[in-house]
Amino acid sequence: MSHQDHTHQPGPDRSGGRRARSRWWAVGVTGLALTTASVAATPAADAVERTRSTVADRPSTDEHRGQRERQQSHVLQGRSGGKPSGQSRGDPGKKGGKSAGVPVPCDPDALIAAITLANARGGGVLDLARDCTYLLTANIDGAGLPAITSPITLNGTKNTTIERAAAADQFRILTVNTGGNLTLNQLTVTGGQTTGAAGDGAGILVDAGGALTTNHSTITRNIASAAGGGIANNGTTHLRSSTFGRNTAAPSGGGIRNSGLISISKSDIHANTAVVGAGISSTGTVQIEHTSIAKNRAREATGGLFIESGSAAIADSSVTNNIATEVVGGILAGLGTEVTLKSATIADNVSLIAIAGGLGVDDGASAVVEDSIIKNNNASIEGGGIYNLSDLVLRNTKIFGNQAGSQGGGIYNETIGTVTLFSTKVTKNIVGDDGGGIYNEAGGTVNLNTATGTVVVKNRPDNCSGDVPGCAG
């Protein structure tokens, strides 16, 4: 069926006969307060004094220990818990190395005191106990541990955990203030829970001017009342060989919320939830490589990766099996953003009731996809693989097996959009109406560049709908 003969049925977000630009915004995403609120930095000296007085006012370590032994006898084994990690243990941040840190017994008071002292002395390396859960019960300025105001490294093992006690007041686990530089090696951070509008970063909050590095660590089951269930980064963060799973945020960034600079490598972001940007939401700069973003779920828009503003570079990574209830199952390049994907896989993502199963490119955005695969994504209405409103370039990319309920099984291009394809294959995509491979609205531009090897074949019920020069019907 030709585009001119096709009567396009208005969707729920149409206004009159003209499609609304940025239809993912029309479902209410615009109204969300997505700006990350930063917690004010606290001077190191004040933090030290407050921490000392807080610790002094708490019940004795013996009283805490008795309760913990009853509740967690399998974890806590007396004052020294497990073996102090400084006893010739390999450094978790560097396999085969030796740790030279200060041993911290398996007791939350001991950890609080050790961080307080390290801050006062301008930094330090702390070796946490093996097979230990540091169960936090006191709220210290919104966190379970003193704010990090200097370079501090916490070394653990795969069985070392820092956790908020379920019966304790709600607070995040860690805050990195301006000037602080925290490194986590082989640690699990869990159970953080925040309240109120300033409750960003239930697991870890990194203030502007602060820095965080995680190595072989897990940030899991944290719940933020604001943005960033696992981590909210306003500074500089490097996540390496780490896992961010089953975290929740009320507005955005179920796993990670970024407004600074963040690099993620060899990591796993999975099963996080939020209203938008369930896996990762960013208004800053994102660099991702050798990482999986999978099985995250957005209650409204963008199940996997939401680049709200700023830029993102994704390489040798996968965005798979993410779900958005309304729009954009996999990745959304937001208004005015710059996004590049190289050697990436966008697969099996779903937009349950609207558009853009795999990749959405918003008005004014610039997106380049190279050497990648976009397959088996599904949109209820349009754009099973890709939905484009702006400037999209595809090079040496395979788009196949995607489905849409109405038009654009492989690619849906809006009237303000331009899609340019080089050496790209659009095959075996399916729709319920027309434009199985590519659907181009009147006024939109699709450049196939067939001389480079671009093909659009074996799509159902047709290959192209609308003005797509070089496409065989």
> Buried b vs exposed e over 162-192: b needs ≥16 C-beta within 10 Å?
bbbbeebebbbbbbbbbbbbbbbbbbbbbbb
CATH of the domain at 428: 2.160.20
Distance CA 32, CA 299 (A): 13
Are the C-beta atoms of residues 379 and 432 closer than 8 Å to each other?
no
Angle at 264 between CA 33 and CA 116, to 5 degrees: 80
Q: For residue 388, what are its two tokens?
A: 């484009």
Are the C-beta atoms of residues 430 and 462 closer than 8 Å to each other?
no
**Consecutive 10-residue runs of the chain (473 residues): their mean pLDDT?**
34 33 44 32 35 34 38 33 38 53 98 98 98 97 98 96 97 98 98 95 98 98 98 98 98 98 98 98 98 98 98 98 98 97 98 97 97 98 98 98 98 98 98 97 98 98 97 85
Q: Is residue 108 part of a domain?
A: no
Alpha-carbon separation of residue 458 from 3, 8, 114, 349, 379 (angstroms): 19, 23, 65, 22, 19
Greatest Cα-to-Cα distance within the chain, rounded to the nearest angstrom: 81
Amino acid type, 118: A
Q: Is residue 14 part of a domain?
A: no
Burial class (CB in 10 A: 0-12, 13-18, 19+), 94: exposed
Q: Is residue 47 part of a domain?
A: no
Distance CA 157, CA 187 (A): 6
Alpha-carbon separation of residue 179 from 112, 145, 174, 211, 371 (angstroms): 19, 17, 15, 8, 40
Q: Is residue 215 part of a domain?
A: yes
Alpha-carbon separation of residue 257 from 28, 293, 296 (angstroms): 19, 14, 14
Q: Is residue 296 part of a domain?
A: yes
Domain count within the chain: 1
The pLDDT of residue 473 = 74
3-state helix, strand, coil in the chain (%, to 5): 10, 40, 50
- Structural domain including 366 reads 127-465
Q: Is residue 37 part of a domain?
A: no
